[in-house]
Chain A
Amino acid sequence: MTSTLTKRVAAGLFAAVALMGAGAAQAEGGALHPRNVNFSFEGPFGTFDQGQLQRGYRVYEQVCSACHSMNLMAYRMLGQEGGPFYDEHHEAARNPYVAAIAAQIEVPDTDTETGEPITRPATPADHFRAPFPNATAAAFANGGAAPPDLSVITKARHGGAEYVYSILTGYRDAPDGLRINPGQHYNPYMNGDMSPFWEGDEHHVPPGGFIAMAPPLVAGAVTYDDGTEPTVDQMAQDVAAFLAWAGDMHQVERKRTGFAVLIYLLLFGIITWFSYKKIWRDVGH
């Protein structure tokens, strides 16, 4: 009996590992593997550090939002449970910090009387202001490459937050022998194939690819209220954590629910196993 059981479990595990392998196999490319960061939200029990989310939002707002939209985000979400400005005394839509943040931003609207296009201060219900009216304008302003929307960027790239962090901190001077087109920058963490641009040894093509984004962070680009030193590394970690939260904002709740579900299934499973033993006790099989 137990032997079938172990076999079944083994088969399940084998299938799972094979699937993960197949997934990982799709990830390959000429880029360096993202650098490891010990983010607080990793692992089955990880949670977000609210201070870090606040700093990360500030980096997004003051630096990245000049080029990148986050169309799936509304200001009210910042005050939602688990969000950067969550305050248990206020409902998300009435959170005063969030209202103040939104009020500083002008969003486009239509005048309700004249029908003319106007701008007005945002409310928590508004979606994040987009820097460009459409993708064509975004591409035109950035030398032909539209900056991608960052709402789900950590789910849309292998490596998630660590990938974003690695891109932001990974810019290097191009090695000698690599031709770089104007408006492009070398980044070993970006996907791509450098061989057409490489004049050196064909067995040592540099890893990575070109990215049209100039290194967006310089030390001190933002000031942090909590006294944290705004180094490039710190800002990159903070904004990556913020993007990881924004891309999958219910993840802490999800893992917590999962723990309860697994405990429940475990107990239920044990009870069922003993009923099974009892029912089958006198039956040869």
Chain B
Amino acid sequence: MSDHESTYVPKTGIEKWLDERLPIIRFGADYMALPTPRNLNYWWTFGAILTLCLVVQIATGIVLAMHYTPNTELAFDSVERIMRDVPGGWLIRYVHANGASMFFIAVYIHMFRGLYYGSYKQPREMIWILGCVIFFLLIATAFLGYVLPWGQMSYWGAEVITNLIGAIPVIGEPILIWLRGGPAIDNATLNRFFSLHYLLPFAIAGVVFLHLWALHQVGQSNPVGILMPKDSRSKDYLPFHPYFTVKDGFAIILFLMLFAVFVFYNPNALGHADNYIEANPLQTPAHIVPEWYMLPFYAILRAIPDKFGGVVAMFAAIGVLFILPWLDTSRVRSMRYRPTMKKLFVIFVVVCLGLGWCGAQLPDANVIPGIGGGFTLFDGDINTYLWLTRVLTAYYFLFFLVLMPWVGLKETPLAVPASISEPVLTGETEQKG
């Protein structure tokens, strides 16, 4: 919390001189001494993991940009040249490509954590909203980056996604041309996508700074979800260092091991083989699919029969997250004490994974093969991914727009402890939830 007393005492003359002019060492020291809720579990380590992901992407990205050529004739070969001829280039490129996936794994876990423990609720609305801005920018950055290697999926993914803008009535078409820099995806598109792909991560870094600033203003939430005592010497707090530096550090090492398994042993498992075929505007791939982390939103897009309606639904799926703090009517933050909501949350997680699964399937394919065409509802057979996606999409929106406000009013939460030390000191050490 920002109002905890500073315990930093400058020792040397230089430190004193600097402290009066630019108290940057004090800033760092105070950060390390930050009173932190003692009961934070491993789900809270993803913040540190995400910071690392951003640093890794920027560091590897800058090196890639030194060797990459944003020209439709040369881009594909320049990426392959990085892999063959640049010393350590294969490592840099595989870390960057897989790093995007790792970033999304971490961001999704981080967001589900926030959802489960009610981290978006008063007084942390700004932290949550800034987080949603980061998520949106991250999607944009990853989409732009995926276009750069100029493979078949790069090109056709860009084609499909920019076409969506064209679906907006009246203003869609001019915006589309403006965005692409011409009527079709071409060299002008690749150049601006490269420029923006370089820019956006720094915008993300800026919003991350605001995100952390807001966090330090109100303090971290915690698994019990109660407000923390004002007195920073309370038993409910531990200083950030060494308690949480070591905990975050351990989590980061586990995360890096998962990362390393992909980079060194399965570097192309998360990508699509077609992206190793150079972009060809005259040959549409049999099956255009976005990267795995976009699949749930891609599924929602395709669930709506009308193209513009689909675009609206897809953006609404992200937009609804922004107003979440005002949709949830419950006064209890942590779902540990909300038995009904907890079950609905578990269903929600399964629904999100299901949407991701559906996004990778052909809409007309049968969900249960073998039983063939069953009953046709409106425009499609009910035994198809089209209808499964629609059911899941309905739950996605129902969860936020109906269940959140309604269950909050109706349910009777379990008794919430008065302080963290209470459940901790009475021996309830197992982390529930």
Interface residues of A (CB under 8 A from B): 1, 3-5, 8-9, 11-12, 15-16, 18-23, 25-26, 29, 44, 71-72, 77, 148, 151-152, 155-158, 191, 248-250, 254-255, 257-259, 261-262, 265-266, 268-269, 272-273, 275-276, 279-280, 283-285
Give the Cβ gap from B386 to chain A, nearest Cβ, in Å.
16
Give the Cβ gap from B81 to chain A, nearest Cβ, in Å.
8
Q: Hey, which chain B residues are within 8 Å of A155, CB to CB? A: 268, 273, 276
CB-CB nearest 7 A-B residue pairs: A258-B264, A156-B276, A155-B276, A269-B253, A250-B90, A4-B431, A272-B250
Tell me whether A285 and B264 are in contact in the complex, defined as CB-CB below 8 angstroms, given that A1-B431, A279-B243 are known contacts: no
Tell me whether A19 and B238 are in contact in the complex, defined as CB-CB below 8 angstroms, given that A8-B254, A25-B361, A285-B39 are known contacts: no
**A191-B286 in contact (CB<8A):** yes
**B109-A11 in contact (CB<8A):** yes
Task: Give the residue name and chain of the A residue nearest to B245 (CB).
Answer: A279
Tell me whether A280 and B243 are in contact in the complex, defined as CB-CB below 8 angstroms, given that A25-B361, A77-B84 are known contacts: yes
**B77-A72 in contact (CB<8A):** yes
Partner of B292, one of A3, A22, A269: A22
Partner of A20, one of B109, B243, B269: B269
Instruction: Give the B interface residue count (CB, 8 A).
Output: 59
Interface string of B220-259 (1 = CB under 8 A from A): 0000000000000000001000110011011101111110
**B356-A22 in contact (CB<8A):** yes
Which residues of B from 264 to 319 have beta carbons under 8 Å from A?
Answer: 264-265, 267-270, 272-274, 276-277, 286-287, 289, 292, 295
**B270-A23 in contact (CB<8A):** yes
**B258-A272 in contact (CB<8A):** no
Q: Hey, which chain B residues are within 8 Å of A18, CB to CB? A: 353, 356-357
**A249-B253 in contact (CB<8A):** no
**B258-A157 in contact (CB<8A):** no
**B269-A21 in contact (CB<8A):** no
The answer, yes or no, to whether B101 is at the interface (CB within 8 Å) is yes
Partner of A22, one of B84, B276, B277, B295: B295
**A285-B38 in contact (CB<8A):** yes
Given contacts A21-B357, A26-B272, A26-B360, 4 further A-B contacts (CB under 8 A): A3-B430, A262-B257, A280-B247, A284-B429
Task: Give the residue name and chain of the A residue nearest to B359 (CB).
Answer: A22
Partner of B256, one of A1, A254, A265, A280: A265
**A156-B257 in contact (CB<8A):** no
Q: What is the bound-complex CA distance between A136 and B190, given in angstroms?
A: 25
**B254-A23 in contact (CB<8A):** no
Tell me whether A257 and B273 are in contact in the complex, defined as CB-CB below 8 angstroms, given that A29-B286, A191-B286, A285-B39 are known contacts: no
Give the Cβ gap from A62 to chain B, nearest Cβ, in Å.
24
**B431-A254 in contact (CB<8A):** no
Q: Hey, which chain A residues are within 8 Å of B287, CB to CB? A: 26
Q: Hey, which chain A residues are within 8 Å of B361, CB to CB? A: 25
Interface-centre pick from B81, B250, B251 (highest chain A CB count, 10 A): B250
**A152-B276 in contact (CB<8A):** yes
Q: What is the bound-complex CA distance between A61 and B43, given in angstroms?
A: 55
**B41-A4 in contact (CB<8A):** yes
Give the Cβ gap from A225 to chain B, nearest Cβ, in Å.
27
**B429-A269 in contact (CB<8A):** no
The answer, yes or no, to whether B205 is at the interface (CB within 8 Å) is no
The answer, yes or no, to whether B200 is at the interface (CB within 8 Å) is no
Q: Hey, which chain A residues are within 8 Å of B429, CB to CB? A: 1, 284-285
**A255-B264 in contact (CB<8A):** yes
Q: Hey, which chain A residues are within 8 Å of B238, CB to CB? A: 283, 285
Q: What is the bound-complex CA distance between A32 and B242, given in angstroms?
A: 56
Give the Cβ gap from B157 to chain A, nearest Cβ, in Å.
13
**B246-A72 in contact (CB<8A):** no
**B263-A258 in contact (CB<8A):** yes
Q: What is the bound-complex CA distance between A254 and B260, given in angstroms?
A: 11
Q: Hey, which chain B residues are within 8 Å of A3, CB to CB? A: 430-431
**B246-A275 in contact (CB<8A):** yes
Q: What is the bound-complex CA distance between A22 and B287, given in angstroms?
A: 14
Partner of A279, one of B94, B246, B270: B246
Give the Cβ gap from A208 to chain B, nearest Cβ, in Å.
14
Partner of A272, one of B39, B43, B249, B277: B249
Q: Hey, which chain A residues are within 8 Å of B43, CB to CB? A: 4, 8
Q: What is the bound-complex CA distance between A258 and B263, given in angstroms?
A: 8
The answer, yes or no, to whether B160 is at the interface (CB within 8 Å) is no
Q: What is the bound-complex CA distance between A26 and B272, given in angstroms?
A: 8
**A261-B42 in contact (CB<8A):** no
Q: Hey, which chain A residues are within 8 Å of B80, CB to CB? A: 72, 151-152
The answer, yes or no, to whether B344 is at the interface (CB within 8 Å) is no
The answer, yes or no, to whether B91 is at the interface (CB within 8 Å) is yes
Interface string of B86-108 (1 = CB under 8 A from A): 00001100100000010001000
Give the Cβ gap from B105 to chain A, nearest Cβ, in Å.
6
Q: What is the bound-complex CA distance between A275 and B246, given in angstroms?
A: 7
The answer, yes or no, to whether B425 is at the interface (CB within 8 Å) is yes
Tell me whether A158 and B273 are in contact in the complex, defined as CB-CB below 8 angstroms, given that A254-B90, A265-B256 are known contacts: yes
**A23-B292 in contact (CB<8A):** yes
Interface-centre pick from B251, B273, B292 (highest chain A CB count, 10 A): B273
